[in-house]
Chain A
Amino acid sequence: MAGLLHLHSTLLPSASALRRRAGAPAPSSSRRCFRVEAKIREIFMPALSSTMTEGKIVSWTAAEGDRLSKGDPVVVVESDKADMDVETFHDGFLAAVLVPAGESAPVGSAIALLAESEEEIPAAQSKAASFSSGASSSPPAQETAAPEASAPPPPPPPPAPVAISAPAPPSPATQGGVRVVASPYAKKLAKDLGVDLFSVTGSGPGGRIVAKDVEAALAAPKKAAPVTAARPDVPLGSTVPFTTMQGAVSKNMVESLAVPTFRVGYTITTDALDQLYKKIKSKGVTMTALLAKATAMALVQHPVVNSSCRDGKSFTYSSSINIAVAVAIDGGLITPVLQDADKVDIYSLSRKWKELVDKARAKQLQPHEYNSEGRKWCFGYSVVNLKMKGTFTLSNLGMFGVDRFDAILPPGTGAIMAVGASEPTVVGTKDGRIGIKNQMQVNVTADHRVIYGADLAAFLQTLSKIIEDPKDLTF
């Protein structure tokens, strides 16, 4: 029952990884460093079944530092169907475990590093450090910097070069001295949601942290984030060249002008959706995941809206519904993709989303997890030859209070939906009364070569029905 372990030679390391490696004591020369590089392999989460999108590490059968021969079991993975022992395809040493037992990782993401020889273990481990502490070491201040420390305790990262304006998480030293009393469920939630318990104020008996405190802590910084990020540190009066990502965005935006697009808007009442969200928020479900799920379910009924025009002569109907969601990151925009959003249940989808965003912000996304060209960071809309890509894009500016906006269609896809804020609105009801309902406006931009006005109208009608009666979302 052994699944295949996907091993690939390491891709080019990121700049920060190189920096760190240069500072690490082990490699003595740059030549050696280069040689070492080629012999550290990433162990990827294997796909154990055709429907598996993420796998949970049940246990590591090998420990860090263990010598492994080809065919040795390394890890037990729980998929949606069964548990399987996974074997290695290469000889070497298990240098670093990136995803500890009990946690999940998407199919294809690195879960461990395999070093070819024993002396390469330190190099691999410093590489691992760049994986797990990527967030804290990347130079620009990130809006997630405050409470969302990654769950596995990373090796102590080097001091961050730039001071962060948001309240910094307490250092490990203070954590050692202070006792935190948190209930078992609060601890579990904090771990699942990536909340640092030291930043949470307890409201339970004796100041104990209970589940709702963790949820409150999770909600709070999200609202605060735009405020703290509102004063960007830009060198006024100078010209700053595009980064690679910004350059790619620019190129794509110009390319988009070649596509004949049009727009259809719709107002959707979200009272029921808000209520559902409140109910299942504690299980880690996010509004983004709910919207992605609703959209995917509507797309099932309107496959043409999920299609695209590749050559100007034909419809390309996508076999799966993959929702790309635009996420602002410092210095650009990426679009992590929620694969098979129509099929994956809402809880898994939310977990997956959280994971992708964390990784995106730490710049760790695997190539198939974001929409891009090759390995370049670019305005994630253009995708042609990648295995994993978004077939429909969501862009949401509602959290800023934006009530409606207009999105540019990413080349290569058929449609993008711009989602505004849901706000209490005075409405006239059918029985002639006046009431207040929460409503949001959505606005879809589509390629008119394949998607016509009536297609979008019908799609939006379906979507509004799903959102206004959202009970099917949690199936």
Chain B
Amino acid sequence: MSLSAPSAAAAAAVASGAASSRPNAIRPAAGLRFCGLRREALGLRSSPQAVAARRSVAAAATAGNGAAGSGGFDYDLVIIGAGVGGHGAALHAVEKGLKTAIIEGDVVGGTCVNRGCVPSKALLAVSGRMRELQDEHHMKSLGLQVSLPGYDRQAVADHANNLASKIRSNLTNSMKALGVDILTGIGTIVGKQKVRYGKVGFPDNEITARNIIIATGSIPFVPKGIEIDGKTVFTSDHALKLESVPDWIAIVGSGYIGLEFSDVYTALGSEVTFVEALDQLMPGFDPEIGKLAQRILINPRKIDYHTGVFASKITPAKDGKPVLIELIDAKTKEHKETLEVDAALIATGRAPFTKGLGLENINVVTQRGFVPVDDRMQVMDADGNVVPNLYCIGDANGKLMLAHAASAQGISVVEQISGRDNILNHLSIPAACFTHPEISMVGLTEPQAREKADKEGFEVSVVKTSFKANTKALAENEGDGLAKMIYRPDTGEILGVHILGLHAADLIHEASNAIALGTRVQDIKFAVHAHPTLSEVLDELFKAAKVKAAGVSHSVNEPVAA
């Protein structure tokens, strides 16, 4: 958890796997994977043409989305919130022949597409190139000569903004093409299977639905004492617009969001000071990866940091005075220091956006804003009973605040309401941080795995490999990095994989798929990897692992609820 103040997000998100304890992991981690996930779930339907083609098939088979919902309901499924989670659920629902509507009060795409992973990937694409071009030593060792690389801030900002609009319209079109009804306004649950929606000042409409999914997402969490002015003290929402590149920016919180922004800002010429409440930076990562990340991503850059401190008060710059940040000791609460910087980015995690949902009408009480759910994402009421036909996915339930996790949860819910029980294995959901080089992970960290092994009485083994040993990485002159796999030597079950290195975010999926499908090390080690590719980093791990041959069980195939 990378919060500089205790947040609801922190406590509620400690549910399970490697990534689950990082509330501010959420958005930036998912941009590219968002697309990947959709393709996986929907087969060919990622291009508009393919979508259209598929629609006619669907229409023939199920009378499409236009048929009246069965049993007197307006819809089979109503989703409140058209972010990545709601979108994933809607598309899968149509595939399952459900009449579906989605209610959006703001813009389609939610945080990820508009204020999160998507625009941040655009900025990171720029920062990665800038960093490379500025690294004279790196360029020279490749034999390249580059003089004075520079950038145009507005053009960079436009790139991010254009990308967001493009993905937003892709998302909207894909739903329209499938015939999902997009209803505009704020959705409120008024009773069992009943939702009211409408814009402010317009008459409300009431609709009935056999099933309802809450997918309202989250907003940046701003601790008390911090005054946001959107210019010199701001959250990721503003930072992504890149309205300025300050000389010196303090980033409060060193989780994914903070780390990615440090990558962007330092590449564009800013100096960065991290303020972290816990005793070490990047506390959510596997410790070994965290240490290496500090050596690669923090120490050589124009970054310093204060750990074990809260930013108790932040005052925006005004009247020629800089931004003032009061730091107090995280434990003793004593005043430690006052920082004077040009800007401050608050990246202390995210808080659920669940106000105005009308949960009180159905006896549901949020926990620090999060909607309580069970393993199947079914909403629980104040008495701990399941509320029938009501589900909550994504950041609003706080289980694992990642865009692709929300989408996966949505698909799992649709499976259930179409009559197939489904429990999502959260330990198989990968997470990634798109710094240069990238960091990715799936499953348990080494300490988590060892703790579990102690409790359950099994052995744990770890294998590691360096990017220095990979031909493709060396060809790119990017030998920095490490990959490690934690596994059970008795069964060959993969417990966790952690990668720091070139294209780590793309590499993790071989491991996450193996975990999701229950593939064991002794089987996957025979899979062939093209040479020379970065994928051989994982190949190296699989081949280095030693699994005891005798008595191999297949129990690893059982999905684990998390």
Contacts and interface: CB of A to CB of B under 8 A. Distances in A.
B272 interface: yes
Contacts of A475: 140-141
B219 to A, nearest CB: 29
Contacts of A102: 299
Contacts of A81: 468
B466 A183 contact: no
Given A102-B299, A183-B271, A184-B273, A474 B304 contact: no
Given A58-B295, A206-B340, A474-B136, A184 B247 contact: no
A408 to B, nearest CB: 38
Contacts of B303: 184
B137 interface: yes
Given A205-B247, A205-B342, A206-B340, A187 B141 contact: no
Interface string B84-123: 0000000000000000000000000000000000000000
A371 to B, nearest CB: 31
A78 B338 CA distance: 35
A204 B247 contact: yes
B322 A205 contact: yes
A206 B322 contact: yes
B248 interface: yes
B248 A183 contact: yes
Contacts of B140: 474-475
Contacts of B194: none
Q: Considering residues A59, A78, A102, A205, which has the most beta carbons from chain B within 10 angstroms of its beta carbon? A: A205
B466 A184 contact: no
A181 interface: yes
Contacts of B468: 81-82
B302 interface: yes
A184 B342 contact: no
A347 B302 CA distance: 17
Interface string A203-246: 01110101000000000000000000000000000000000000
A179 B136 CA distance: 35
Interface string A69-95: 000000000100110000000000000
A474 B140 CA distance: 9
A183 B137 contact: no
A188 B302 contact: yes
B466 A82 contact: yes
A9 to B, nearest CB: 34
Contacts of B322: 205-206
Contacts of B342: 205
Q: Considering residues A185, A474, A475, which has the most beta carbons from chain B within 10 angstroms of its beta carbon? A: A185
Nearest to A208: B340
A184 B340 contact: no
B433 to A, nearest CB: 21
A14 to B, nearest CB: 34
B141 A183 contact: no
B254 to A, nearest CB: 14
Nearest to A56: B295
A217 to B, nearest CB: 18
Contacts of B272: 184
B328 to A, nearest CB: 16
A166 B340 CA distance: 32
Interface in B136-150: 136-137, 140-141
Interface string B226-258: 000000000000000000000110000000000
A205 B248 CA distance: 10
Interface in A70-129: 78, 81-82, 102
A189 to B, nearest CB: 9
Interface in B287-318: 291, 295, 299, 302-304
B320 to A, nearest CB: 8
Contact of A185 (B271, B291, B295): B271
A181 B136 CA distance: 30
Contacts of A187: 304
A184 B136 contact: no
A181 B322 CA distance: 12
Contacts of A188: 302, 304
Nearest to B321: A206
Contacts of A204: 247
A345 B137 CA distance: 10
Q: Considering residues A82, A204, A208, A474, which has the most beta carbons from chain B within 10 angstroms of its beta carbon? A: A208
A62 to B, nearest CB: 17
Interface in A151-186: 179, 181, 183-185
A119 B136 CA distance: 52
Interface string A183-203: 111011000000000000000
Contacts of B248: 183-184, 208
A205 to B, nearest CB: 7
A299 B322 CA distance: 54
B295 A184 contact: no
A398 to B, nearest CB: 27
A204 B291 CA distance: 32
A474 B137 CA distance: 8
B247 A183 contact: yes
A49 to B, nearest CB: 13
B380 to A, nearest CB: 45
Nearest to B466: A82
A151 B304 CA distance: 16
Interface string A315-354: 0000000000000000000000000000001010000000
A188 B302 CA distance: 8
A102 B295 CA distance: 9
Nearest to B302: A185
A278 B432 CA distance: 40
Nearest to B339: A181
A188 B321 CA distance: 25
Contacts of B302: 183-185, 188
Interface in B24-57: none
B271 A184 contact: yes
Contacts of A181: 340
A378 to B, nearest CB: 38
Q: Considering residues B136, B304, B468, which has the most beta carbons from chain A within 10 angstroms of its beta carbon? A: B304
A265 B340 CA distance: 55
A470 B299 CA distance: 29
Contacts of B247: 183, 204-205, 210
Contacts of B136: 474
Interface string B274-296: 00000000000000000100010
B135 to A, nearest CB: 12
Nearest to B292: A83
Given A206-B340, A208-B340, A184 B141 contact: no
A474 B302 CA distance: 21
A181 B273 CA distance: 12
B302 to A, nearest CB: 4
Interface string B10-35: 00000000000000000000000000
Contacts of A185: 271, 302
A184 B274 CA distance: 10
Q: Considering residues A188, A204, A347, which has the most beta carbons from chain B within 10 angstroms of its beta carbon? A: A188
Nearest to B273: A184
A59 B299 CA distance: 14
B273 to A, nearest CB: 6
Interface string B456-480: 0000000000101000000000000
22 contacts: A58-B295, A59-B291, A81-B468, A82-B466, A183-B247, A183-B248, A183-B271, A183-B302, A184-B272, A184-B303, A184-B304, A188-B302, A188-B304, A204-B247, A205-B247, A206-B322, A206-B340, A210-B247, A345-B137, A347-B137, A474-B140, A475-B140
Interface of A: 58-59, 78, 81-82, 102, 179, 181, 183-185, 187-188, 204-206, 208, 210, 345, 347, 474-475
Question: What are the 6 closest A-B residue pairs judged by CB atoms, nearest first?
Answer: A185-B302, A184-B304, A184-B271, A183-B271, A185-B271, A183-B248
Given A187-B304, A188-B302, A188-B304, 7 more contacts: A82-B466, A183-B247, A183-B248, A184-B248, A185-B271, A206-B322, A475-B140
